Amino acid sequence: MNSQTSPQGVAESRDPGMRLRIKQLKVRFQAGAKQIHAVNGVDLSLGAGKTLALIGESGSGKSVTLRSILRLHPPRSTLIEGSIRVGEQEVLELGPAALANFRGAVASMIFQEPLLALDPVYSVGEQIVETMTRHGLCSTAEAWKKAIDLFERVRIPSPERRVHAYPHEMSGGMRQRAMIALALSCNPSLLLADEPTTALDATVQIQILLLLRELQAAMNLSIIFVTHDIGAAVEVADEIAVMYAGRIVEQGSAKQLMRSPKHPYTYALLMSRAHGSLKKGERLPAIGGSPPDLSRLPKGCAFAERCERARDACLESQPEIEEHQGQSVRCFFPIEKHVPTEKLLQQSYSSPGTSSQTMHHAPLSH
């Protein structure tokens, strides 16, 4: 990897451990006469070798945040402000050539649907080789060897043969592994995973989560993992950030946040889960009411209409994010007392394979 496509060494020496810093990210889309305020001042940072899970209801801005890191939004209809630093690079200032170098080699993305990332008319091996040679990482012959190594690494059986398979010749789980191999082919330091397991059945989901965790440790990857599955978030993440209406409303260590949510929205999410209204892999959840219209956000707290703790002050102005007992919380009246969500979650989480122990013994299926 050349120095341009591998800034992490430089970045880590200047800012030890910090791979990603997002500051005051705002993303708006022009949709006809309306302006959709999809992301409204997100701050996030992620250390080397760490995983952050981003959770929240549909439309809360998780994918828009992730896609901003690779600048994947349509430029003509998108207004984007703030700062996204990956290593030493300011992503929002990259020109076309630097952006092409950045994508794949510094940060890359895996999706819920591998067919979005894989080209149906080329074998997966050809796509990996093309990506590596386009980035100038090695010769074609070396790239083929590396493609086979990568297939081995993501546990695709008979890699020498399978590397020549087309995406449609693979099962869903194997295609997901092939997409991970492609995403990792240029040795990125940051992997963005947008609901990578949602479309898979439960056993395969667990295998893919395990694989991501293994790869993270082996490659010192930093991962942002978007999920609707709180159980999956706890399994893979060091930190959890909860999004609502384009803002992060709570962030903290995965264990602590599960044990003691401070924001009423996080609490409602966990309780709806704890009361068994969802099964593993289902989408989030039954909280009364609906999120606000992103083209007409209220001046006060966006959760106020649905919040049992709301008071007059909540309607007047926007709560800022503040530290409460080691968690960052955006709420005027955070929950102080400990609530036994963790116990309730454990009880409701009946699927075998969601504890670390069972995950390690999950059989591989293809």
By the rule CB under 6 A, 264 interacts with ligand SF4: yes
Longest Cα–Cα distance of the chain, Å, equals: 67
By the rule CB under 6 A, 31 interacts with ligand ATP: yes
| Positions 240 through 299 that interact with ligand ATP (CB under 6 A) | 294
d(CA 134, CA 143): 11
d(CA 82, CA 25): 4
Which residues are CB-contacts of 197 (< 8 A; sequence separation ≥ 6)?
176, 204, 205, 208, 209, 227, 229, 232, 281
By the rule CB under 6 A, 114 interacts with ligand ATP: no
d(CA 306, CA 315): 12
**Size of interface with ligand ATP, in residues (CB under 6 A):** 15
Residue 32 or 363 with smaller CB distance to ligand ATP: 32
The stretch near Mg ion (CB under 5 A) out of 26-34, 59-67, 73-81, 113-121 is: 59-67
d(CA 159, CA 144): 11
Which residues are CB-contacts of 217 (< 8 A; sequence separation ≥ 6)?
49
By the rule CB under 6 A, 54 interacts with ligand SF4: no
Contact mark string toward ligand ATP, 48..77, x via CB under 6 A? --------x-xxxxxxx--------xx---
Q: How far is the CB of 296 from ligand ATP (least distance, A)?
A: 12
The residue from 84, 183, 200, 304 that contacts ligand SF4 (CB under 6 A) is 304
The stretch near ligand SF4 (CB under 6 A) out of 136-144, 266-274, 289-297, 301-309 is: 301-309
Asked whether 209 and 257 are in contact (CB, 8 A), the reply is no
Which residues are CB-contacts of 96 (< 8 A; sequence separation ≥ 6)?
none
Measured in whole angstroms, the distance separating CA 119 from the mean position of its chain's CA atoms is 23
Partner whose footprint covers residue 292, from ligand SF4, ligand ATP, Mg ion, none (CB < 5 to 8 Å by kind): none
The stretch near ligand SF4 (CB under 6 A) out of 81-89, 143-151, 330-338, 345-353 is: 330-338
Tell whether the torsion through CA atoms of 199, 203, 207 and 213 is positive or negative: positive
The residue from 41, 61, 319, 353 that contacts ligand SF4 (CB under 6 A) is 319
Residue 168 or 337 with smaller CB distance to ligand SF4: 337
Asked whether 287 and 272 are in contact (CB, 8 A), the reply is yes
Residue 86 or 284 with smaller CB distance to ligand ATP: 284
Question: Which amino acid is residue 189, in one-letter code?
Answer: S
- Closest C-alpha to 101, from 81, 112, 86: 86
Asked whether 184 and 108 are in contact (CB, 8 A), the reply is yes
Partner whose footprint covers residue 61, from ligand SF4, ligand ATP, Mg ion, none (CB < 5 to 8 Å by kind): ligand ATP
Tell whether the torsion through CA atoms of 180, 188, 220 and 48 is positive or negative: negative
Residue 67 or 324 with smaller CB distance to ligand SF4: 324
Q: What is the CA radius of gyration of the chain?
A: 21
Q: Give the β-pairing of 322-324 and 247-253.
A: unpaired
| Angle at 144 (CA atoms; ends 158, 124), nearest 5 degrees | 65
By the rule CB under 5 A, 63 interacts with Mg ion: yes
Residue 62 or 162 with smaller CB distance to ligand ATP: 62
The stretch near ligand SF4 (CB under 6 A) out of 53-61, 103-111, 204-212, 325-333 is: 325-333
Partner whose footprint covers residue 332, from ligand SF4, ligand ATP, Mg ion, none (CB < 5 to 8 Å by kind): ligand SF4
Q: How far is the CB of 63 from Mg ion (least distance, A)?
A: 3
The stretch near ligand ATP (CB under 6 A) out of 14-22, 28-36, 171-179, 200-208 is: 28-36
Q: Give the β-pairing of 222-226 and 190-194.
A: parallel
Contacts to ligand SF4 by CB under 6 A: 264, 301, 303-304, 307, 309-310, 314, 319, 331-333
Contacts to ligand ATP by CB under 6 A: 29, 31, 36, 38, 56, 58-64, 73-74, 294
